[in-house]
Amino acid sequence: MIKIDGKELAKTIKAEIAVEVAAQKAAGGKTPHLAAVLVGADPASQVYVRNKVIACEKVGFTSTLIEKEASTTEEELLAIVAELNRDEDIDGFIVQLPLPKHINEEAVTLAIKPSKDVDGFHPINFGRMALGLPCYLPATPFGIMQMLERYNIETSGKHCVILGRSNIVGTPMSVLLSRKAKVGNCTVTLTHSRTQNIKEETKRADIIIAAIGIPNFVTADMVKEGVVVIDVGINRVDDASRKRGYRLVGDVDYEQVAPKSSYITPVPGGVGPMTITSLLMNTLKSSRREVYG
Ligand code: NAD
């Protein structure tokens, strides 16, 4: 069994990005510039956004953090988005979700210029992804694709069972892995809350991608020997032995499933750390006008 170390891989990729940014700057090229917009004071969102900004600085990007009060109106936020769309120095920007309830997230996502949508949430980027055209991949699927590629995990001709059909993980993964590409050519089964006999599906899987948000859902009796397991879930379970009173677990029962796996991602330290890396890679691409010219 090989543990896929997302933390280490993310570190390696960030170091590679830093080298590329330094070379780009030395050659008189553009310094990549990422902006992040945070509306409201949700503590988790504050941590995510600040981590993104710190990551930018560490690899030599310029970063801009725009923090607005929770009372910001949709109109005001759309005006900020329009300004970021116009600003030629900004290569890409993200609007941290979730937004306060009075703001329509879809309207905001649609307002972001696809060529600056480094989160890869705009339907234009999703459509380009589905057609195999240059695009910004959404962060978590991009991170998973990197893991599969860098660990040289064979996907061609394999049966991949995905658990969960969210727009940010399950559905894009089903598209990416069924595409004709270096990492791809899988036969994909996309399962969800209405799937019957999920165990029958997972038992046939060469690769399982679990993204449902149910702690330890995938157990040893649900997988075959040699399976590759990518666990996207991040769930809190009570743990009195921890100072904070809980610990994080994935959607896969790691202790049980790891011994049967050929490769498996831990939680924490698996898929999670890769998401910021994806954002940096998309912003670097944008600074080089690689996707939209
Ligand atoms: P979601 O929470 O939006 O939706 C859950 C999905 O699971 C739905 O498609 C639903 O149909 C499916 N589902 C629910 N119960 C099921 C069941 N019993 N059997 C089969 N399918 C079932 O999904 P999400 O936003 O992709 O998040 C899923 C998990 O991944 C969460 O734990 C989330 O915290 C985590 N997550 C982690 C990262 C990361 O960077 N590691 C990124 C995004 C999400």
Q: What is the pLDDT of residue 2?
A: 98
94's CB contacts (< 8 A; 6+ apart) are: 34, 35, 36, 37, 52, 118, 119, 279
What digits encode the pLDDT tens for the residues 76-115?
999 999 999 999 999 999 999 999 999 999 999 999 999 9
- Ligand 1 near 168 CB (within 6 A): yes
CB 292 within 8 A of CB 29: no
Which residue's CA is minimally distant from atom 1 of ligand 1?
166
Q: How many other CB atoms are found less than 10 A from the CB of residue 2?
A: 12
- Give residue 278 CA to ligand 1 midpoint distance, Å: 19
Residue 278 has pLDDT above 90, yes or no: yes
Residue 131's H or E segment, with its range, is helix 123-131
Euclidean distance between the first and the last CA atom of the chain, given in angstroms as a whole number: 42
Which ranges in the chain are annotated with CATH 3.40.50.10860? 28-114
Nearest-atom index, ligand 1, CA of 267: 41
- How is residue 210 annotated by DSSP? E
Residues carrying CATH 3.40.50.720, the chain? 139-272
Measured in Å, residue 40 CA sits from the centre of ligand 1 at 24
The CATH code of the domain at 139-272 is 3.40.50.720
Mutation choice for ligand 1 from 232, 249, 278, 279, CB with most ligand atoms inside 8 A: 232
pLDDT band at 293 (very low <50, low <70, confident <90, very high): confident
State pLDDT tens for residues 199-222.
Answer: 999 999 999 999 999 999 999 999
pLDDT by residue (tens digit) across 14-65? 999 999 999 999 999 999 999 999 999 999 999 999 999 999 999 999 999 9
Distance 163 CA to ligand 1 centre (A): 8
Structural class in CATH, domain 28-114:
alpha beta
Q: Which residue in the block uniquely carries the two structure tokens 């899987």?
A: 205
